[in-house]
């Protein structure tokens, strides 16, 4: 499924990120393809907030729609 | 040392002195280190082509240079480009990392180590980390990185003595596996290891310096670096407990719409009280009227008149109604400066506390519909202070498309504080239904213009992708420093434009062009807007300064409806001459002219529409009907939004565009 379909509190594995620049930026933030993250908040219709350890990242809905994840981990 | 060729800022390093560079992620407390090491003798200079400042100061016989907080170095944005250039020219890097965010921060640390420069790490905020149940094995971290690591608590100056004592034990660390081998052939051609690394990582700017093709290994190297950092993190960090702190809970409340919107409204209300009431009223009353108009202007007039009479042409230009020495100076220092300082103070407060990225997250969805992402909220809020300042700030938006949209919306629909003051005064006497009409029409124009631009402009705006740093109490010295640097730069950049604007308008006045335009506009004012002929003068004055235009209306005898029509028209009318000059500077001539021209059209179209509709809905001599006009605008906006959404949907299915960061 894609990241925009995730629910608050759910854990998931990032399978793919859409573009090279997004992948590079995500790697700096500490998130790579294959990484397991937790969804800490979903703004209705808006960004999805994912966290890993103490790092939190807000991802716009349009981008979340292009991120493939594997849920129910 | 032969460095410094490419840093863009001239920094004097004494003979034999070292360039010590402070580097770190945003919000690591870097500035406290800088202030502590350099003391009060600090030089600040603007980095060419950006709104960013570089500070440096002496430390013994060496120089310490500060860099903007970044997550990594390459060419993603201005901050990174500057940090990159300065770090590449360093003899020694003092890297400040936050113990709370070690996993994120070590990426930059490892990238700096990979450039081969001697590094010493200050592991900051260990007290915060301990409170959050994070224990870091400092010895092990130092072994794994291959560089000294000193634990510190910057705000309490803890660990600083040890850091000073061991600063020069900084040494090159352990490089990301595999990078060494790939670097060797490039180092021979480039001669500088750090630059070779960035070329390998595909940095287009550095590659161009050597006429080389940027490498394609970025992702691979980043991935290996990230793996190495994660492995280090696993070995050195032990989490003992994990309770949600107050800050975490409040941070959540700020981004959930149900609680976040009231918090935002409360914040904006506090901002309005502080800036709209206190600064715009009390402070400006003193600075503009008492000091500038009461003391400065008469003095400068008296002085100039000793040489040239005020009625002569040079007299008019220097000390006349729009005089270079009178109006420009009064406007800049008496009116604009207090307001700009106030707005930047709040912006710095939001930034330093970590609230700003949360506002961006909260409003992201709303701004998406007008082609911006959450970060677009920054220029829009600033626009209510000064549209000129906000237009310059659009540089922080990540794509050209977003800048286009933001600048157009700022120019068209956002009334600046000077104008808002006059408008609020005129609206106050009219009653709430007229206030609703005014606010709704302006808001619907904003929504329609944004939606249309988002649909018609090619490409796709960048999606929000930001780090949410932990909330913290803002450090007041930090906030003040940011406020004054930003305000100073704005005034330095805008002052010549305001002067040029005043010069242009004085020329128009002396040559009679101003009068000609007023006559040209009159039929439109009378026939289409149903306003008295003299209102044309107010609009023309609006070309100079928006509040001049609005103020010009207070002298006319207008019915409530006429007042609203005039206010709507003047709000949507062209931005003040300084803003227009900034737009010309920031954008292409064609685009700037387009924005200016469409502001004329939009202002008269919408103003006239309100006037004509109100006449249509109010038969006979009865009371003016406001509600039907409001309903009409709501319906019209809905139609535009729905149509645009349909258009967009058909387009996205046919082409999916790659979004990305600007790589200017």
Distance between CA atoms of residues B402 and B398, nearest Å: 7
Yes or no: say if B277 and B314 are a contact pair by the CB < 8 Å rule.
no
B 357-376 → A contacts, CB under 8 A:
357, 360-362, 364-365, 368, 373-374
| Beta-carbon contacts of residue B447 (< 8 Å; ≥ 6 apart) | B369, B370, B637, B640, B641
Distance between CA atoms of residues B266 and B361, nearest Å: 17
CB half-sphere exposure, A27, CA atoms < 13 A = 26
> Is the torsion defined by CA of B149, B154, B158, B161 positive or negative?
positive
Yes or no: say if B391 and B379 are a contact pair by the CB < 8 Å rule.
yes
Residue B466 has its nearest CB partner, among A28, A57, A62, at: A57
Yes or no: say if B569 and B561 are a contact pair by the CB < 8 Å rule.
no
Residue-wise pLDDT for B27-76, tens only, equals 788 888 888 888 766 676 666 666 677 888 888 889 999 998 899 998 87
Residue-wise pLDDT for B104-127, tens only, equals 999 999 999 999 999 999 999 998
Other Cβ atoms closer than 10 A to B336: 28
Q: Which residue of A has its CA nearest to B218?
A: A24
Residue B397 has pLDDT above 60, yes or no: yes
**Which percentage of chain B shows pLDDT scores above 90?**
35
Annotated binding site of B: 24-31, 35, 38-39, 49-53, 66-69, 124-127
Q: What are phi and psi of B326, to 5 degrees?
A: -100, -75
Distance between CA atoms of residues A64 and B365, nearest Å: 13
pLDDT of residue B86: 92
Give the 3-state secondary structure of residue B69.
coil
pLDDT of residue B243: 58
The ipTM (two decimal places) reads: 0.95
Residue A28 has its nearest CB partner, among B107, B134, B460, at: B107
pLDDT of residue B627: 86
A58 in B contact zone (CB under 8 Å) = yes
pLDDT of residue B481: 82
Q: Which residues of B touch A26 (CB under 8 A)?
A: 465
Q: List, for chain A, all residue ranges whose pLDDT scores fall below the cut of 50.
A: none
Cα B190 to Cα B197, B201, B211, distances in angstroms: 10, 14, 10
Residue B6 has pLDDT above 60, yes or no: no
Q: Which residue of B has its CA nearest to A30?
A: B104
Residue B654 has pLDDT above 80, yes or no: no
B477 in A contact zone (CB under 8 Å) = no
Place of tokens 């007290």: B127
Give the 3-state secondary structure of residue B215.
coil
Residue-wise pLDDT for B255-308, tens only, equals 999 999 999 999 999 988 888 888 888 898 899 889 998 999 999 999 988 888
Distance between CA atoms of residues B107 and B112, nearest Å: 9
B 230-249 → A contacts, CB under 8 A:
230
Yes or no: say if B236 and B136 are a contact pair by the CB < 8 Å rule.
yes
pLDDT band of B472, cuts 50, 70, 90: confident
Residue B662 has pLDDT above 80, yes or no: no
Yes or no: say if B114 and B179 are a contact pair by the CB < 8 Å rule.
yes
Distance (Å) from the C-alpha of residue A72 to the closest C-alpha of chain B? Answer: 22
Residue-wise pLDDT for B549-567, tens only, equals 777 787 788 888 889 999 9
Stated pTM of the model: 0.84
CATH of B19-239, one of 3.40.50.300, 3.30.479.30, 3.40.366.10, 3.20.20.70: 3.40.50.300
| Beta-carbon contacts of residue B281 (< 8 Å; ≥ 6 apart) | none
pLDDT of residue B47: 65
Yes or no: say if B69 and B24 are a contact pair by the CB < 8 Å rule.
yes
Token pair, residue B8, equals 């863009």
Token pair, residue B70, equals 């970044």
Q: What are the structural domain ranges in chain B?
A: 19-239, 257-654
Distance between CA atoms of residues B458 and B207, nearest Å: 30
Distance between CA atoms of residues B271 and A47, nearest Å: 26
| Beta-carbon contacts of residue A61 (< 8 Å; ≥ 6 apart) | A4, A45, A46, A47, A48, B364, B365, B368, B463
Q: Which residues of A touch B465 (CB under 8 A)?
A: 22, 25-26, 57-60, 63
Task: Mark yes or no for CB contact A62/B368 under 8 Å.
Answer: yes
DSSP B448-516: HHHHHHHHHSSS-PPPPEEE-PPP-PPPHHHHHHHHHHHHHHHHHHHHHHHHHHHHHHHHHHHHTHHHH
Task: Mark yes or no for CB contact B256/A43 under 8 Å.
Answer: yes
Q: Domains, chain A, ranges and CATH?
A: 3-70 (2.30.30.90)
Residue-wise pLDDT for B497-536, tens only, equals 878 878 887 888 788 887 888 888 888 888 888 888 878 8
Token pair, residue B135, equals 């224990």
B107 in A contact zone (CB under 8 Å) = yes
Yes or no: say if B565 and B529 are a contact pair by the CB < 8 Å rule.
yes
pLDDT of residue B477: 79
B481 in A contact zone (CB under 8 Å) = no
Task: Mark yes or no for CB contact B374/A58 under 8 Å.
Answer: yes
B519 in A contact zone (CB under 8 Å) = no
Distance between CA atoms of residues A1 and A12, nearest Å: 10
Residue-wise pLDDT for B566-594, tens only, equals 999 989 988 888 888 889 988 889 999 99
Distance between CA atoms of residues B388 and B644, nearest Å: 30
| Residue count of chain B | 664
Place of tokens 């280090």: B232
Task: Mark yes or no for CB contact A29/B104 under 8 Å.
Answer: yes
Distance between CA atoms of residues B444 and B422, nearest Å: 21
Poorest-confidence range of B398-402, B563-567, B649-653? Answer: B649-653
Is B555 exposed, middle or buried (CB count within 10 Å of its CB: 0-12, 13-18, 19+)?
Answer: exposed
Residue B411 has pLDDT above 70, yes or no: yes
Token pair, residue B214, equals 């940027």
Distance between CA atoms of residues B458 and B654, nearest Å: 13
Secondary structure (H, E, C), B131-150: HCCEEECHHHHHHHHCCCEE
Yes or no: say if B405 and B379 are a contact pair by the CB < 8 Å rule.
no
pLDDT band of B660, cuts 50, 70, 90: very low
Yes or no: say if B522 and B508 are a contact pair by the CB < 8 Å rule.
no
Give the 3-state secondary structure of residue B66.
strand
**Residue B564: its H or E element:** helix B560-572
Distance between CA atoms of residues B100 and B134, nearest Å: 7
């Amino acid at each position: 499924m894609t990241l925009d379909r995730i629910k608050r509190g759910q854990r998931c594995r990032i399978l793919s990120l859409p573009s090279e620049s997004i992948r590079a930026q995500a790697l700096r933030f500490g998130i790579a393809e294959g990484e397991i993250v937790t969804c800490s908040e979903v703004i209705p219709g808006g960004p999805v907030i994912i966290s890993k350890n103490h790092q939190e990242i807000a991802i716009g809905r349009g981008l979340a729609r292009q991120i493939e994840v594997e849920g129910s981990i | 040392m032969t460095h410094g060729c490419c840093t863009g800022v001239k920094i004097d390093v004494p003979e034999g002195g070292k360039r010590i560079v402070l580097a770190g992620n945003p919000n690591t407390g870097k500035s406290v280190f800088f202030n502590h090491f350099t003391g009060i003798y600090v030089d600040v200079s603007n980095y060419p082509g950006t709104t960013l400042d570089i500070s440096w100061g002496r430390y013994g016989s060496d120089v310490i240079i500060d860099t903007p907080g970044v997550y990594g170095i390459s060419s993603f944005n201005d901050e990174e480009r500057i940090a990159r250039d300065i770090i590449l020219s360093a003899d020694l890097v003092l890297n400040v990392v936050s113990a709370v965010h070690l996993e994120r921060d070590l990426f930059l640390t490892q990238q700096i180590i990979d450039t081969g420069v001697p590094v010493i790490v200050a592991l900051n905020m260990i007290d915060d980390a301990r409170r959050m149940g994070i224990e870091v094995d400092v010895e092990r971290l130092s072994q794994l990185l291959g560089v000294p690591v000193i634990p510190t608590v910057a705000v309490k100056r803890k660990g600083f003595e040890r850091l000073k004592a061991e600063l020069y034990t900084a040494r090159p660390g352990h490089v990301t596996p595999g990078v060494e081998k790939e670097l060797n052939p490039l180092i021979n051609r480039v001669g500088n290891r750090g630059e070779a690394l960035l070329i390998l990582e595909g940095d287009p700017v550095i590659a161009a310096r050597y006429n080389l093709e940027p490498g394609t290994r970025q992702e691979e190297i980043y991935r290996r670096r990230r793996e190495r950092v994660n492995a280090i993190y696993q070995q050195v960090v032990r989490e003992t407990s994990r309770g949600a702190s107050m800050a975490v809970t409040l941070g959540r409340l700020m981004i959930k719409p149900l609680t976040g919107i009231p918090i935002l409204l409360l914040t904006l209300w506090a901002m309005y009280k502080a800036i709209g009431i206190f600064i715009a009223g009390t402070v400006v009353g003193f600075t503009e009227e008492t000091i500038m108009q009461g003391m400065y202007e008469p003095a400068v007039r008296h002085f100039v008149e000793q040489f040239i009479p005020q009625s002569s042409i040079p007299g008019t230009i220097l000390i006349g109604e729009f005089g270079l020495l009178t109006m420009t100076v009064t406007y800049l220092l008496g009116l604009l400066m207090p307001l700009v300082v106030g707005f930047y103070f709040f912006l710095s407060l939001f930034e330093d506390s970590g609230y700003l990225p949360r506002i961006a997250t909260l409003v992201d969805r709303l701004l998406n519909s007008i082609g911006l992402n959450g970060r677009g909220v920054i220029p829009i809020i600033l626009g209510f202070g000064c549209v000129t300042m906000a237009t310059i700030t659009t540089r922080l938006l990540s794509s050209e498309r977003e800048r286009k949209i933001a600048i157009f919306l700022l120019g068209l629909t956002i009334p600046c504080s000077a104008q808002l003051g006059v408008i609020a005064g005129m609206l106050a006497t009219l009653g709430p239904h007229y206030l609703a009409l005014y606010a709704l029409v302006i808001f619907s124009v904003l929504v329609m213009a944004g939606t249309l631009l988002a649909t018609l402009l090619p490409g796709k705006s960048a999606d929000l992708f930001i780090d949410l740093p932990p909330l913290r109490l803002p450090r007041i010295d930090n906030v003040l420093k940011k406020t004054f640097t930003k305000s100073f730069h704005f005034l330095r950049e805008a002052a010549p434009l305001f002067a040029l604007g005043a010069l242009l308008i004085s020329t128009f006045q002396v040559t009679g062009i101003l009068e000609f335009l007023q006559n040209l506009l009159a039929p439109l004012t009378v026939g289409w807007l149903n306003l008295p002929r003299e209102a044309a003068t107010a609009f023309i004055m609006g070309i100079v300064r928006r509040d001049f235009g609005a103020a010009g209306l207070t002298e006319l005898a207008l019915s409530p409806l006429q007042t609203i029509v005039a206010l709507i028209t003047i709000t949507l009318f062209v931005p003040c001459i300084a803003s227009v000059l900034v737009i010309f500077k920031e954008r292409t001539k064609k685009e700037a002219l387009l924005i200016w021209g469409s502001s004329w059209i939009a202002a008269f179209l919408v103003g006239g529409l309100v006037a004509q509709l109100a006449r249509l809905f109010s038969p006979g001599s009865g009371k003016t009907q406001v509600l039907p006009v409001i309903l009409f605008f709501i319906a019209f906006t809905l139609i535009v939004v729905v149509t645009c959404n349909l258009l967009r949907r058909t387009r996205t299915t046919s082409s999916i565009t790659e979004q990305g960061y600007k790589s200017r």
